[in-house]
A and B are shown apart, each in its own frame.
Chain A
Amino acid sequence: SAVISQKPSRDICQRGTSLTIQCQVDSQVTMMFWYRQQPGQSLTLIATANQGSEATYESGFVIDKFPISRPNLTFSTLTVSNMSPEDSSIYLCSVEDGGRPYEQYFGPGTRLTVT
């Protein structure tokens, strides 16, 4: 399966600021996804990032708050904008890596704390 890295692994940010999270994959993949996992909760899909087109956002998530870039088939960024303490969460990117459809592989996550 693909090897996925994320930067930063963790950060503590002040409210009102923005943080950009990077996701790098060691092979070319078509579908990349961004998830949020709040404490004690399961994963919630934020958006699907496809190369060459705008990201597709899930209900409750908007581009102004979570802009996404996908400049090529191995890289994506998620920005958490104008942060508030409610944005404190783990943010994970994932990819579908061939094989069976919908099988996803995750990066190690970015643990964000907003103070």
Chain B
Amino acid sequence: RKEVEQDPGPFNVPEGATVAFNCTYSNSASQSFFWYRQDCRKEPKLLMSVYSSGNEDGRFTAQLNRASQYISLLIRDSKLSDSATYLCVVNPRDDKIIFGKGTRLHILP
């Protein structure tokens, strides 16, 4: 099993819809989890950290399921500007983080 796995997509979603994607991780001792967003030909940017109790930032909600070893990202009322690749990032061991390959999201007008 890969350390971090994501569905590569693409997810083609109409504007205004809700979309969710998951990311699974293999190391049950992982402590820190993040979602990054990467626009085409740009650097990754931190979208949000994922806390054990789940957290929300505007239209974005991140959740952690330790029992099943996955994190999720929910985007409500999607905008055209949400089109990007979303990278799942996990800290499986000290001082290292592992990036998933990303899930491509296309918001359709």
CB contact list, B35-92 vs A, under 8 A: 42-46, 49, 87, 91
- Taking a contact as CB atoms closer than 8 A, the residue among A43, A44, A103 that contacts B34 in the complex is A103
Do A108 and B34 touch (CB < 8 A)? no
Q: How far is the CA of A45 from the CA of B4 in the complex (A)?
A: 14
- Known A41-B101, A42-B99, A42-B100: A104·B32 in contact at CB below 8 Å: no
Chain B residues closer than 8 Å to A1, beta-carbon distance: 46
- Taking a contact as CB atoms closer than 8 A, the residue among A43, A100, A108 that contacts B42 in the complex is A108
Interface range on chain B: under 10, 10 to 19, 20 to 34, or 35 or more?
A: 10 to 19
Which label, helix, strand, loop or mixed, suits the secondary structure of the A interface?
loop
A106 at interface, CB cutoff 8 A: yes
Do B32 and A92 touch (CB < 8 A)? no
- Known A41-B101, A42-B99, A42-B102: A102·B43 in contact at CB below 8 Å: no
Interface range on chain A: under 10, 10 to 19, 20 to 34, or 35 or more?
A: 10 to 19
Do B99 and A43 touch (CB < 8 A)? yes
Do B46 and A104 touch (CB < 8 A)? yes
Do A106 and B45 touch (CB < 8 A)? yes
B29 at interface, CB cutoff 8 A: no
Q: How far is the CA of A107 from the CA of B44 in the complex (A)?
A: 9
B1 at interface, CB cutoff 8 A: no
A84 at interface, CB cutoff 8 A: no
Q: How far is the CA of A93 from the CA of B81 in the complex (A)?
A: 25
